[in-house]
A and B are shown apart, each in its own frame.
Chain A
Amino acid sequence: MYLRPVPRKPVRENTIPLINVVFLMLIFFLIAGTLVANRDRDLMLALTGQAPAGSSYSDALIVRRDGTLVWRGRPVELSGLPDVFGGAWPKSLKLAPDRRAKAADLVRVAAQLRQGGVGTITLVTRRGGEGS
């Protein structure tokens, strides 16, 4: 017996549910995440327990693990920092040290900033969670 294949009409796939899900994911990432400028993938911030909430290290002077300094994505020398700020030290400055860096390096940087006239120095840390 010869069966003729059923002629199939090409059915357009329904893309609306896909768009719905992708839209929801987009909205989730928009709301839940924070964008960090000059993100440093090697930087591991120090962990804290009950320190007050702060902001990201986008505008912070990063002290990397080996003690070198990074400002806005560019490595800087401490002595060259006033030029970046237009010839004068800022009133306050955020420092984002790597938690594996030598504490003595951080303290040396902080002391020099202080000597230069930086009034308030704040460390950027992050909430210590399980699994991180």
Chain B
Amino acid sequence: MRIEPLPSLRRRIVLTPLIDVIFLLLLFFMLSSSFQKFTRVEIAAATAGATAAGRTPDILIRLEAADRVAINGRSVALAEAAARLEALKQAGAKDVAVRAGSEAEVQALVGMLERLKSFGFEAVTVVP
């Protein structure tokens, strides 16, 4: 008896459901992923009245509104603050306390913390 081979059915694979799912995945990841580069800034908060090191700070910086800071009570523009801090660092200042005025925003505080770190101050404390 001769058995004829089955005629092979060449069917195309249906791709539409696959595309549906991939599109959905793509949409999900496009909408929910974020492309921000996160960074971190350590903040040493002090309880009222004491710095982290438990000493009186050498420099007290008070953040005021509109790009002004008061360094040891003297109000200067933010641009001049760098020179002033450098001079104080040369004079041997180590501990810094940063106090936020009622007008200052978080961005100013973060910027100041970063700047102080780049100047190489060892103990920077944020005081209320």
Interface residues of A (CB under 8 A from B): 12, 15-16, 18-19, 22-23, 25-26, 29-30, 32-36, 39, 45-57, 63, 94-95, 97-104, 106-108, 110-111, 113-115, 120-127, 129
A15 touches B38 (CB 8 A): no
B34 CB, min distance to chain A CBs, angstroms: 5
Find chain A residues with CB under 8 A from B90 CB.
Answer: none
Question: Is B88 on the interface with A (CB-CB < 8 A)?
Answer: no
- In the complex with contacts A26-B25, A100-B105, A19-B40 CB distance below 8 A: no
For the complex, count residues of B whose C-beta is within 8 A of A: 46
Interface residues of B (CB under 8 A from A): 12, 15-16, 18-19, 22-23, 25-26, 29-30, 32-48, 63, 99-102, 104-111, 114, 118, 126-128
| Bound: A102/B114 CA distance, A | 18
Contact partner of B22 among A26, A49, A115, A123, CB < 8 A? A26
A52 CB, min distance to chain B CBs, angstroms: 6
Find chain A residues with CB under 8 A from B25 CB.
Answer: 26
Find chain A residues with CB under 8 A from B30 CB.
Answer: 25, 29
A110 touches B45 (CB 8 A): yes
A32 CB, min distance to chain B CBs, angstroms: 7
B29 touches A111 (CB 8 A): no
Find chain B residues with CB under 8 A from A34 CB.
Answer: 33-36
- In the complex with contacts A99-B107, A101-B106, A33-B101 CB distance below 8 A: no
A102 touches B38 (CB 8 A): no
